């Protein structure tokens, strides 16, 4: 097992998730299948990495029967694979609030990232109202919010206030003051975020 992956065994609440792009359902299913099977094989090969599911990036947010069929297929692919253990996790990332019909029945993932944009966009675009209308339990929704004003991130209590504002609507939250390099750096207020989450 790779040295950098030992945290998946040291901290029980942490587990690995495989990344697969769907290119908004334009990527061939056969290519997605190939990627998923590679991750599933890791556990079967006995390398102890323990991938528990798949983060499907760039999933569609517009309703069509083709998009619905695509989402059902990728969900089923993970849920039916023994390579992801017993509690197989499917995460979709449309990055925006999807059409409600894509958030029902076999299209619905375990978690959907329904917001991936700036703090300002969240409040200017009426996301709170749209998420309420979506009528999905918060535990199945996630928010990735960047460019939060530094004044709202200075202390862990400030970060906690932001998280509490989002919590009634989304069960999984990541907020950062960073406006660039969002996925390559933890940011200046990482400690405050961790303290707020653990409070």
> Residue 183: which pLDDT band, with cuts at 50, 70 and 90?
confident
Residue 9: pLDDT over 70: no
**pLDDT tens figures, 126-164:** 999 999 999 999 999 999 999 999 999 999 999 999 999
Verdict on whether the full-model pTM lies above 0.75: yes
Per-residue HEC secondary structure of the chain comes to CCHHHCHHHHCCCCCEEEEEECCCCCCCHHHHHHHHHHHHHHHHCCCCCCEEEEEEECCCCCCCHHHHHHHHHHHHHHHCCHHHCCCCEEEEECCCCCCHHHHCHHHCCCEEEEEEEEHHHHHHCCHHHHHHHHCCCHHHEEEEEECCCHHHCCCHHHHHHHHHHHCCCCCEEEECCCCCCCCCCCCCCHHHHHHHHHC
- Predicted pLDDT at 6: 55
Q: Which of 4-13, 46-55, 96-105, 178-187 has the lowest mean pLDDT?
A: 4-13
Residue 34: pLDDT over 80: yes
């Amino acid at each position: 097992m790779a040295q950098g992956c030992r945290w998946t065994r040291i901290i029980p609440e942490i587990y690995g998730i495989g990344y697969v792009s769907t290119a908004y359902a334009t990527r061939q299913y056969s290519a997605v299948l190939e990627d998923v099977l590679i991750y599933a094989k890791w556990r079967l090969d006995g390398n102890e990495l323990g991938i528990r599911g798949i983060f499907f990036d760039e999933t569609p947010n517009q309703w069509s029967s083709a998009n619905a069929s695509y989402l059902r297929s990728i969900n089923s692919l993970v849920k039916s694979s023994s390579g992801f253990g017993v509690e197989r996790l499917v995460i979709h990332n449309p990055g925006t609030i999807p059409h409600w019909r894509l958030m029902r029945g076999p299209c619905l993932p375990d978690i959907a990232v329904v917001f991936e944009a700036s703090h300002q966009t969240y409040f200017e675009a009426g996301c709170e109202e749209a998420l309420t209308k979506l009528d999905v339990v918060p535990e199945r929704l996630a928010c990735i919010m960047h460019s939060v004003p530094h004044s709202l991130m200075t202390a862990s209590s400030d970060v906690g206030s932001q998280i509490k504002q989002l919590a009634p609507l989304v069960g999984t939250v990541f907020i950062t003051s960073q406006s660039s390099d969002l996925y390559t750096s933890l940011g200046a207020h990482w400690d405050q975020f961790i303290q707020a989450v653990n409070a």
